[in-house]
Structure formats: C-alpha cells, structure tokens
Structure 1
Amino acid sequence: MEERDEQGNEEPMTPTEFRTELADLLRRGSQGEISFDRAWTFRDSQMDIPDWMVEITELQKCDDD
C-alpha cells in the first residue's frame, strides 16, 4: 500500500518495504490468472522517472535433501 505525506505525495519505499510489497503482489497474482514467465514494460510520462522493463521467471523449487 503506498504511503503519502501531508501534501499527498508518494513517500519513497525502503528496500524491505519494496520486497514485501512485491512478494505480496506475486503471491496474489499466482492465485489469479497471471502468467509470470514474461516481461512487462513500464513507461513513465515524467522525464525525471526512468522507464523500466521487469522480467519475472518462475523458479523450480529446491529439494532440501
């Protein structure tokens, strides 16, 4: 859930917050109908914000022998 300051601006996330939110999105998506073995491109209209490509690949579970 995004945090906002008194002016309504988004607050920056910490690495821990980002990882937690990303893990939650992946769990929720895997329970839905989202196919993760692909890449997504995100373009931002603000020039000071970079554009991103994100690739998510499902990993095989490790055997804990």
Structure 2
Amino acid sequence: MHPVKKIQFEIATIHDMAYNPHVDKYLKVLEDLIKDGYILVFYMDGEVSTTIRDLKHFSNFKKSFNL
C-alpha cells in the first residue's frame, strides 16, 4: 500500500496571494501537485476548510477566490 501524499496549507495563504504578482506560479505548483497525485488540505483557524483531490475541484476553488 502506498502512503497518502497529502500537503497541508492555511487558507490564509490563498487570501494573501490573491494580489501577489506570483499568484499564477503558485497556483501552477498546486495544480502540478494534484496532477502528481497529492491531496491538498486547506485549514482555517486550525480546522479543515476543504480537501482538494482533483483538478475540477481545484478549478472551482480558484473561482471562489476570483483567481
């Protein structure tokens, strides 16, 4: 059995990156991680806010932040 490839982030990171000129590069890295089989887990105030396992969910996630 293969270990689960999971990476945790604070959702505040997305808020902080919204107007950063490097946001597209950052989002591309996250997209590449998903393509490589990683699960992205976003936390807010110490609680799981969302878990992203596929590109469709990631696309919707980006839209919710107007990215």
Structure that is richer in helix per residue: 2
Q: TM-score, normalised by structure 2?
A: 0.34
**Greater relative contact order (Cα 8 A, min sep 6): structure 1 or 2?**
2
Query: Which one has the bigger strand percentage?
Result: 2
- Provide TM-score, normalisation by structure 1: 0.35
